Amino acid sequence: MIAGAPRLAAVGDEAAYKIHARLEGVTRVYPPRAGHAEVHALGPISFDLRAGEFFSVVGPSGCGKSTLLDVLAGLAVPSAGTVEFEGKPVHGEVPDGVGVVFQEDASFPWLTVEDNVAFGLRRAGVDAAESKRRVDFAVAFMGLRDFSRAYPSQLSGGMRQRVCIARTLVMQPRLILLDEPFGALDQQTRLLMGDELLRLWRETSATVLLITHALDEANLLSDRIGVMSARPGRFLDIVETGWPRDRDSRLAERADFGAVTSRLWSYLRGESLRALGQGTAAR
């Protein structure tokens, strides 16, 4: 199996980077519940997230991608292993400097776009003037200026997702975790949102970890892509794309673009079939 093969070259690489977050031997096992056997959802997984990189995680459905994100964000506690963010252990609490965007619409329907974006600033103790400056910037950055006083019900799904990204952005996170943020959007909107995400990543110099099931999207956006196996999810390989930092969706026109996607698929085809088999067996 590929997962077992040690990647000696990686050890040398890592020394050249600052490590931003580290997972060591992380597993997550859901205890048995009425009518359900114990579920081994994740791991053991060990990997380092380099400071400032764009890292994507792809894998078959149900492989524990979201669990990985929850553990890294401190939203879930690992059953075994340790998680570190900026050298400090993460355990069941979201560390300062981590922002998360989910697939589901997480905008607050009772707040205007502006108030949604400003939501976390009061708790963080940011003063009014600075708060307004940051909100104005984030709203403009996400192209929501004309809608700053609108309510989420008046916006499209893509725009609501931008509100959630802007709400994360104002907190000036150093690590941004995205759990299939464009999963509910149509293909064109996805591509444009991907470009905006790249722009945001470049301009904030934050570290980004993106969970996605779209191989093209992972390829286009990432410096490195972690390919996960079927449940219990572990990394089969971590693929380095080598794309320039200054990139956008036109990258897909490059001749070598398809080769990376093909490589991801060659790993995942078998795993996806296995995951599908698990699904049918469970039913």
Partner 1 sequence: MSKAGWIRTLLLVGAVGALELACRTGAIAPTMVTAPSKMVTTLIKTLQSDEIGMHLRHTLSAVAIAMSIAIVGGFVIGFVLNWVPFLRRAFSPFLAAYYAIPHFAFYPLLIVIFGLGPVPLIVLATLFAMVAMILATMAGLDRVPRVLLKTARIHRLSLIEEIWRVRLPAAAPHILSGLKLAVAYSFIGVIAGEFILSTSGIGHEIAFAYDNFDNPRMYALILFVLGIVTLFNMAVFAWERRMLRRRGA
Q: Does 185 bind partner 1 (CB under 8 A)?
A: no
119 binds partner 1 (CB under 8 A): yes
Q: Given the complex with partner 1, which of 97 and 279 has the nearer CB atom?
A: 97
Return phi, psi of residue 121, to 5°.
-70, -35
Min dist CB 160 to partner 1, Å, is 12
Report the distance separating Cα 222 and Cα 55, nearest Å. Answer: 5
Q: Does 98 bind partner 1 (CB under 8 A)?
A: yes
**Residue 100 Cβ, how far from partner 1 at the closest point, in Å?**
5
Q: Verify binding: residue 186, partner 1, rule CB under 8 A.
A: no
Contacts of residue 197, defined as CB under 8 A and 6 or more positions apart, other chains included, come to 165, 178, 181, 208, 210, 221
Q: How far is the CB of 13 from partner 1 (least distance, A)?
A: 31
Work out which of 13, 14, 93, 130 binds partner 1, going by CB under 8 A. Answer: 93
Q: Which residue from 99, 181, 226, 232 is in contact with partner 1, where contact means CB under 8 A?
A: 99
Choice from 105, 136, 195, 240 touching partner 1 (CB under 8 A): 105
104 counts as binding partner 1 under rule CB under 8 A: yes
Q: How far apart are the first and last CA of the chain?
A: 28
CA distance 121 to 102: 19
Place of tokens 């990189």: 53
47 φ/ψ angles, rounded to the nearest 5 degrees? -165, 160
Q: Which stretch binds partner 1 (CB under 8 A): 50-58, 125-133, 149-157, 251-259?
A: 149-157
Map the footprint of partner 1 across residues 29-48, applying CB under 8 A: none
Cβ 214 vs Cβ 185: under 8 Å = no
- Member of 61, 154, 187, 262 binding partner 1 (CB under 8 A): 154
Q: Which residues contact 228 (CB under 8 A, 6 or more apart)?
A: 57, 58, 59, 60, 63, 64, 65, 68, 234, 235, 236, 271
By CB under 8 A, tell whether 123 contacts partner 1: yes
Q: How far is the CB of 104 from partner 1 (least distance, A)?
A: 4
CA 278 to chain centre: 25
Q: By the 8 A CB rule, do 249 and 191 touch? A: yes
Q: Which of 111, 142, 138, 110 is nearest to 126 (CA)?
A: 138
Which positions touch partner 1 (CB under 8 A)? 73, 75, 93-94, 96, 98-100, 102, 104-106, 108-110, 119-120, 123-124, 151-154, 171
